[in-house]
A and B are shown apart, each in its own frame.
Chain A
Amino acid sequence: MMFSGILVNNKKSIGAIAVLLFTILLGVNIWDMCAAPANAPQLFLSETCPLLRIDPYSLWFNTLMTGCSLLYLLLMNKEIQKVGAHVAEYFGLIFFIMCGLYILSTYNNLLMLFIGIEILSIPQYILAGSDKRNLKSSEAALKYFLMGSFSTGILLMGIALLYGGSGMATGHGSFYIMDYVSILHTDALNPVALAGILFIMIALGFKVSAAPMHMWTPDVYDGAPTPFTAIMATVVKAAAFFAFLRLFQVAFNSLSAHWTLVLAVITAATLLVGNVTAVFQQSVKRMLAYSSIAQAGFMLFAVLAVNSTAWQGIIIYAVAYSVATIGLFSVLVKLKDYTYDGFNGLAKTNPLLAFTATIFLFSLAGIPLTGGFMAKYYVLLAVVQQGQLMWLVIFALLMAAISVYYYFRVIIAMYFKPGNAELISPVTDTDKFLLIVTCIIVLLIGIVPQLFLTVFKV
């Protein structure tokens, strides 16, 4: 349904068309959601094997993420055009990323998972390297590409093992995630399938930059042109998480006793590494890269908890985190100097920019009344409902306290340090308006999160 628009786009050149198409995409998504009957409509299926399965969760997720991307495009439009000469291609690649996102949120077959992940990743490799005059950008692209290909190999290995493991139980293998529910739900342990699950966990952990596999994140996010870092750190990551959750909730639910501990350790390591390293950063952009690792740790909670609150949690978290980070990055691109000192005295020279940035930072830190608080609340609630892993929840709260420190350093720099923050591009009225809208969304999520969850009441 949404794919046709994507293919046509890349010939058109200006950002306005991209925005227009995104609006259409959003419209189609909403229309699709309203039109969807209670039993999920199934697309592209022959009788026996639906390759995609569209349920209310994924539709709602698609809509919200399209909304986030639209916001991103509106805020970053001018900046994207500044990166290099191939503006149309950049927008085209962002559409490809959306295509990958739609596949990842609806896949019902490991084959589709693989293709979705690849469609999501390949445009990112290119976007990371799109600023060809900057050596750091090229380094980021190369590093991301090599590490990403390696993790894809691991993913394929995991899928192959899982296929073999499922074949061992039934006589013929299967790629359908629905089949795994029945196949794996037996008393007999299936070690081959378990090894496959481990491999897939590692590969997906790489995509969401969970701790032992996080090494690429700071360099890539730091090296890539800032407008593209914004989408890599937000929408893309959310999509990878949604895929992660979908696979582990739907397919491997019955085996959760086997993988929960591994994932819990990964989560703890992610939180620790992300938060503690972020404290020591001097550049705000790099700090945001580490903070995105830390936020990934929180999102992993949703995967850990095998219940319906987890779905709500991941969606709220994805939106709250994406909107706040996109907003913060759009403030960041206006500044000349990305270090903390570059923010000194921003409140005096440009109070609105400083104020909105403060709201976004509050949200990322998880201060009540902002979206980040509700998001953290939901994912942690999901794990608490599960009843195990209380140590991890307490650990996460501790880490959230650490995160307040480095987020507030930026706020302190803006409001209390003397200085003269220099902007490289002027803040127009449209920018101001959009930033305020973004702020309002962040606050809305914090005050009435039900607004973003109503769809599940159906």
Chain B
Amino acid sequence: MNYNIHDILFWGLSAMAVGCALGVILSRNPVNSVMFLILTFFAISGHYLLMNAQFLAVVNIIVYAGAIMVLFLFVIMMMNLNADVEPQKGQLVQLAGVISGGVLFLVILAAIKSASPIDVDKSASQIGLIDNLGKVLFTKFVLPFEISSVLFLSAMIGAIVIGKKEDTHVINK
């Protein structure tokens, strides 16, 4: 077996991604969870780089690791969740969760086990470069691109509707 640098990086990043993802759900402290999540995003960005998709890697870091995770941290700090206040679930719920999660795991495992690997030209792919991305986005996929503006517009209107001050009188039925 001969490993080249590409494979070593791939396995290293994969181990990092999986390990950090486990850290996200296993750590009791929410702040630690968020930190692990950031690390996971970095590992995934590394994968994008390996596939020669620089633009995707950078966007992933800026948007997810940068903006969204900082928001996460702010929310956690504002709500003062850093103490271990997670409510404990009942035994039955835990059991049900384990069973359904295990079944799901089995389905995916079975699917992946029988999957046949296909040869993808790893490093030479030009598809993730910003040049190609822009071309595809504005020709082949221009319709979804434009329509997602409707989506964002509705989300913005929603933010305004929800955020605006209305009437502080609360009816609690």
Whether chain B is bound by chain A comes out as yes
Mask of B65-84 contacts with A, CB within 8 angstroms, 1/0: 00000000000000000000
A192 adjacent to B150 (CB under 8 Å): no
Cα A161 to Cα B167 with chains together (Å): 47
Q: Give which listed residue, B154, B166, B172, contacts A123 with CB less than 8 A.
A: B154
The reply to whether B108 and A195 form a contact with Cβ atoms under 8 Å apart is yes
CA distance A79 to B83 in the complex (A): 45
Docked-complex contact A7 and B153, CB < 8 angstroms: yes
Which residues of B in the span 121-172 have a Cβ within 8 Å of any Cβ on A?
Answer: 139-141, 143-144, 147-148, 150-151, 153-155, 157-158, 160-162, 164, 166-167, 169-172
Greatest chain A CB density within 10 A among B140, B141, B169, B172 is at B141
Chain B 97-133 interface 0/1 with A at a Cβ cutoff of 8 Å (1 = within): 0000000000110111011101000000000000000
Q: Which residue of A lies closest to B154 (CB)?
A: A96
Would you call A52 an interface residue if the criterion is a C-beta within 8 Å of the partner chain's C-beta atoms?
Answer: yes
Chain A residues closer than 8 Å to B89, beta-carbon distance = none
A81-89, A235-243, A354-362: which lies at the interface: A81-89
Contacting pair A112 B144 (CB below 8 A): yes
Are A129 and B167 CB-contacts (below 8 A) given A93-B154, A119-B154, A192-B115?
A: no
Q: With A3-B147, A192-B115 as known contacts, state yes or no: A46 contacts B140, CB within 8 Å.
A: yes
Which listed residue (B115, B143, B157) contacts A191, Cβ 8 A?
A: B115
A139 to chain B, nearest CB (A): 11
| Contact pick for A195, options B107, B155, B171, CB 8 Å | B107
Contact A51 B143, beta carbon cutoff 8 Å? yes
A99 CB-CB contact with B under 8 Å: yes
Mostly, the A contact residues are: helix
Cα separation A86 to B163 with both chains bound (whole Å):
11
Query: Among B115, B139, B147, B166, which residue has its beta carbon within 8 angstroms of that of A132?
Result: B166
Q: How far is the CA of A380 from the CA of B115 in the complex (A)?
A: 38
| Residue A136 is within 8 A (CB to CB) of chain B in the complex | yes
A448: interface (CB < 8 Å): no
B163 to chain A, nearest CB (A): 10
CB pair A119–B173 under 8 Å, yes or no, is: no
Q: Which residues of A contact B148 (CB under 8 A)?
A: 115
Indicate whether A44 sits within 8 Å of B143 (C-beta atoms), given known contacts A133-B169, A135-B171: yes
- The 0/1 profile, CB within 8 Å of B marked 1, for residues 42-69 of chain A is 0010100101100000000000000000
| A49-B140 CB under 8 A given contacts A96-B154, A136-B173, A168-B116 | yes
Within 8 A of B (CB), among A101-156: 103, 109, 111-112, 115, 118-119, 122-123, 125-126, 129-130, 132-136, 141
Q: Which residue of A lies closest to B116 (CB)?
A: A168
Q: Is A194 an interface residue (CB 8 A)?
A: yes
- C-alpha gap A111/B140 in the complex (Å): 12
What residue in chain B is nearest A141 (Cβ atoms)? B162
Contacts of B169 in A (CB 8 A): 133
A43 to chain B: closest residue by CB: B143
Please state if A192 and B111 are interface contacts (CB–CB under 8 Å).
Answer: yes
- Cβ of A426 within 8 Å of any chain B Cβ, yes or no, is no
B150 touches A126 (CB 8 A): no
B157 partner, pick from A3, A92, A198, beta carbons under 8 A: A92
A92 to B158, CA, bound (A): 10
Given A133-B171, A198-B107, does the pair A168, B115 have CB atoms closer than 8 Å? Answer: yes
Expressed in whole angstroms, the Cα–Cα distance for A41 and B163 within the complex equals 42
Q: List the A side residues contacting B108 at CB < 8 Å.
A: 195
Question: A435 within 8 Å of B by Cβ?
Answer: no
A residues less than 8 Å from B166 (CB atoms): 84-85, 132-133
Instruction: State whether B141 touches A111 (Cβ < 8 A).
Output: yes
Cα distance A133–B118 when bound, in Å? 56
Which residues from chain A contact B167 at a C-beta distance below 8 Å?
A: 85, 132-133
Chain B residues closer than 8 Å to A326, beta-carbon distance = none
Q: Does A130 contact B144, Cβ atoms closer than 8 Å?
A: no
Task: Tell me the minimal C-beta distance from B99 to chain A in angstroms.
Answer: 13
A344 sits at the interface (CB 8 A): no
Alpha-carbon separation in the docked complex, A89 to B118 (Å): 49
Interface of B with A (CB < 8 Å)? 107-108, 110-112, 114-116, 118, 139-141, 143-144, 147-148, 150-151, 153-155, 157-158, 160-162, 164, 166-167, 169-173
6 contacts between A and B (CB under 8 A): A51-B144, A89-B161, A92-B154, A132-B166, A135-B173, A195-B108
7 closest Cβ contacts across the A-B interface?
A: A126-B158, A195-B111, A191-B111, A96-B154, A191-B114, A44-B143, A192-B111
In addition to A92-B154, A133-B171, A134-B170, 7 A-B residue pairs with Cβ atoms within 8 Å of each other are A3-B147, A10-B157, A111-B144, A118-B151, A126-B154, A132-B162, A192-B115
